Structure 1
Amino acid sequence: MTDFSGAGAAGRANRALESLHAMIYFAPEADEEYQRVGLKRGRMGYFASRSAAMGPVSPGVVTATFYNFHPGLVAHNIPRAWTLASTDDVLAARYTAVDRALRRLLGDAVDAPELGELAALTRAATEDLPAHGRPLFAAHTELPWPDAPHLVLWHAATLLREFRGDGHLAALLDGELSGLEALITHCATGHGFTEPAAKASRGWSEDEWNTCVDALRDRGILDGSGLTAGGVALRDSVERTTDRLSAAPWTHLGAERTGRVVELGTAFSRQLAANGAWPDGVFANR
């Protein structure tokens, strides 16, 4: 029987819901809306839209909270973004893009009762979560809830994703993995970005990547074939800690309702994938 309680539910729920949030990072509607409010095409929209809930923060804050991006890539876009558009305008553009993208990717299912049910369940999962030590989650909790069910669902999925993500950074720190080390080892699991996509999107040079790989080999985490047994154990430990630190929403929701979230979230996520939410060559296994 599938376990939908505690830490056992956290990973399953995350896998079911992650696509419903992350689709916006690949949707053409996002870049269109960010350019409409004055941002430049490319990574600026990503950095500005995800950090705008914290206010017009510095590149150091974005690098720290996003964790695995090259500081130079962040500094190329932040704080310049805040000279081109206000954080309020960026946030409004983000929700317009989400609305357009979900309507395109889900079609008539945007108005399905099952989507409304999932929106209500995920919103309930976010109630009364502790924000201490979770800066991105805390910032997003202060944003107003939208009205439309598909936007409620996206906002709830965002809160749950950032809640988990902030805890994931704590797990990576405990595992003594830097941002680049975390990125490389995650690619090596075969369940994240492909290596070319990670290098292109995160801004690390070939030399920086290779130097880090050599350091991970010296630590016994990587070898010529990929993750060593110790590397696999380290990544497994990071994921178990992440699940434990992100169990609160699902403990609050309870096993029965969490199981329903996984069922509905998986179905909608599969529809997103079938309708082209993910570019080819970005993920190793999605």
Structure 2
Amino acid sequence: MDEKAIGQAMRTLQIFAAMVYFAPEFDEELGAAGLEPGLMCYFGGRAAPMGAVPASVVHATFYNFNPERVRENVPRLWGLAGPEKLVEARLVAADRALHRMLDPEVLHSPQVAEAAELARRAALSADTEGRPLAAAHQELEWPGEPHMVLWQGIATLREHRGDGHIATLVEAGLGGLQSMVSHSATRAGFLPSFAQDHRGWSPEQWDAAVRELSARGVVDEEGGITDEGSALRARIEAATDRLAAVPWQALGDTGAERLIEIGCALSSSLVAAGCLPSEGVFFPR
């Protein structure tokens, strides 16, 4: 399979792992572990595989959050719940969410077990130099149930792709806030209102980034994407696809196609079950 095809498939496949951060079970389980609901759970749950890292590391690896919002929660959260406890809480949350939204017969099917071993093989084959979140996920112990092996494998591939994506953004000269503004301008990601609120940026900071990108020709004065900006974002996505393709080579075309077939069907079922917010977060399709 070519890099673009794998990249397109990953945009759907990653929903199987990313859904946990939108699931009510996530705040419930991490809250029971000791964290406060909201961004503290997100920072703690996603960063926990790296250990009790400082705010600067969370900001660097998550990339597009206001550093002040990170410092409000990190390292305070590590005093409320240790990393190992949060890794386990995230697994429990993902398991509960998957069982709520998918038929147990599907989750425990031979097809899911097949996809789980493919995802594990790809995740363990991932090149992690310069990819801290992927490296941390690669070192986690594997769950026992196949559907959770699949979840962890896809989560690792998602972080591998994300680490590479950040490298392409840095090379393109787009900081965290500028990357959010330019991506929202393409109407392919978060609505600006959600991006500002969830990533912790004020309207004034967002508008300042629009002015900076407008001066570069990436967006227009109203924040809409320009032809030059579209070309820049296309180059970023193409480079991200190229950097993310290595783990898939371990599967060969047949294995890659099979993981995508099974995994994307599961992701589509999760979307149909309402795993992602329907309003106020993403641009309507």
Q: What is the TM-score of this pair, normalised by structure 2?
A: 0.96
In 1: Cα distance, 2:183 partner to 2:79 partner = 34
The more displaced of 205-214 and 16-25 is 16-25
- Residues 117-136 of structure 1: matches in 2 within 5 Å? 117-136=114-133
Structure scoring higher RCO (CA < 8 A, sep ≥ 6) equals: 1
Q: Does 1:17 align with 2:13?
A: yes
Describe the SS at the equivalent of 1:226.
coil
What residue identity is the alignment partner of 1:188? A
Report the counterpart of residue 68 of structure 1 in structure 2: 64
- Residues 160-171 of structure 1: matches in 2 within 5 Å? 160-171=157-168
Contact 1:187–1:194 (8 Å) recurs in 2: yes
TM-superposed deviation, 1:115:
1.4
What residue identity is the alignment partner of 2:273? N
TM-superposed deviation, 1:151:
0.6
In 1: Cα distance, 2:116 partner to 2:52 partner = 29
The more displaced of 180-189 and 122-131 is 122-131
TM-superposed deviation, 1:172:
0.3
TM-superposed deviation, 1:231:
0.2
Contact 2:25–2:93 (8 Å) recurs in 1: yes
Cα offsets for 1:36-64 (capped at 9, x unmatched): 11111111011011111111111111000
- Residues 19-34 of structure 1: matches in 2 within 5 Å? 19-34=15-30
Report the counterpart of residue 276 of structure 2 in structure 1: 278
Describe the SS at the equivalent of 1:272.
helix
Aligned match for 1:264, one of 262, 269, 274: 262
In 2: Cα distance, 1:234 partner to 1:142 partner = 34
- Residues 163-242 of structure 1: matches in 2 within 5 Å? 163-223=160-220, 224=222, 226-242=224-240
Contact 1:9–1:247 (8 Å) recurs in 2: no
Report the counterpart of residue 103 of structure 2 in structure 1: 107
TM-superposed deviation, 1:285:
4.7
In 2: Cα distance, 1:262 partner to 1:128 partner = 17
- Residues 50-69 of structure 1: matches in 2 within 5 Å? 50-69=46-65
Report the counterpart of residue 154 of structure 2 in structure 1: 157
The more displaced of 116-125 and 30-39 is 116-125
Give me the CA root mean square deviation: 1.2
Aligned residues: 282
Give percent identity, aligned residues only. Answer: 46
Cα offsets for 1:73-96 (capped at 9, x unmatched): 111111110111111111111111
The more displaced of 112-121 and 228-237 is 112-121
In 2: Cα distance, 1:260 partner to 1:73 partner = 40
In 2: Cα distance, 1:238 partner to 1:225 partner = 19
TM-superposed deviation, 1:198:
0.8
Contact 2:120–2:149 (8 Å) recurs in 1: yes
Residue ranges of structure 2 left out of the alignment (5+ in a row): none
In 2: Cα distance, 1:70 partner to 1:151 partner = 32
Residue ranges of structure 1 left out of the alignment (5+ in a row): none
In 1: Cα distance, 2:119 partner to 2:50 partner = 22
What residue identity is the alignment partner of 1:170? A
Describe the SS at the equivalent of 2:64.
coil
Contact 1:63–1:74 (8 Å) recurs in 2: yes
